[in-house]
Structure 1
Amino acid sequence: MYHNGTRAVKVVSNENKILSCDKNAKLSIVLSQLAFQYPDSKIIWCNKKLESNLNLEDINTIFHHDKMMLSYNPEEIGFLGRKIGYIDDSPFIKIKKDVSYPTWQISSLVGAIHASVLVEIEKKIKLDSDFNYYLNSIAKLCVPLGLLCYSEPKLLFETKIRLISKPSNLILFRFVKQHYKTRWIFLLFLNLII
């Protein structure tokens, strides 16, 4: 599934056929619809700007398990920014960009997940309008349940790409409220005002 950040641009099968999809729907909805239409498939998402850089030849090698979720963000700062480190002290926050690295921080730029995972969690995670938020929610909630999430530079041929996005404090607080205990909101707030 190729997208422009907010909507699907085109969906291509592994036989290189164009598949129909609702181009006006949220990306999370399109991803979910694809999962139900093709429940035994790997679903790959990629920003249209990176289409020529997507490494489809090695996808079966690097995606060797159905309970995996892979993504890659060439930028140093992820969707939630560095401030998530104020409340999450796991080693999965500072991602090593040059190797496959376990993390729950997923990027909408490029990634892959098996459709069966999306089918399984369909009623558990809200189909959010922010695709990055939706992907990070999947990872944050499903890693403790056995989903293996990795930052995988081999998804792209070239990893020295500059696509600048600025993390939002509002989204960070929303994510913390949804995925952590309430006390962490106050601690995050205190850390930000100090």
Structure 2
Amino acid sequence: MRYVPYDPAPASRPPRAAMAVRVATELSELVACAKLAAEYNDEDHRTSLVNLQRHVGRPRNAVHIAVNMDDEVLGYGRTTWIFVPSGAPANVSPMGYYLGGLIVASQHRRRGVGARLTAERMRFIARHSADAWYLVNQHNSASIALHDAYGFHETTRDFVFPGVVLDEPGGILGHARLRDDAAHCQGCPDRTSASDRLTART
């Protein structure tokens, strides 16, 4: 698995990008996202496009895109509804909405694109659920830092995720409470809602 190099305290940062974030609804938007995915994952563009089309074709899923004033796609992030079938192992990840598949064009990284996509997807989830979840490889420091800043906390490292085999050394299941009636997982430090932190950062 490839991860973007992460420096938690860079000597300088590029200026924040001017952007708008919306749910992708047009084929041309998915094509642009597929191009970013193909470059990042070193896979065939058509394979990336088919995967995105399948994703948005499932109920409750969405792809959010960040675009500049010229409507160029700077990055995108998926929101996925995960269903847990009956008979699943006791340590299966919870059923609900998950953040995932965040990719930002290389020339636009460290300019706030990932943060905006995370914030908007959390707002999208908050309209439907009190909880947001995500899973991440233990080595993906950039993703962990980004989600921590938006109120996610580690729930467990002992879990299985439907249809996913995590690369070594394993994954982290993260959770954010979006409302006061959210679940209280085994890793929740307290009952403070992530919505407070989301409001403060955007």
- State the TM-score, normalized to the length of structure 1: 0.33
Structure with more strand by fraction: 2
**Greater helix content:** 1
Tell me: higher relative CO, structure 1 or 2? Use CA pairs within 8 A at least 6 residues apart.
Answer: 1
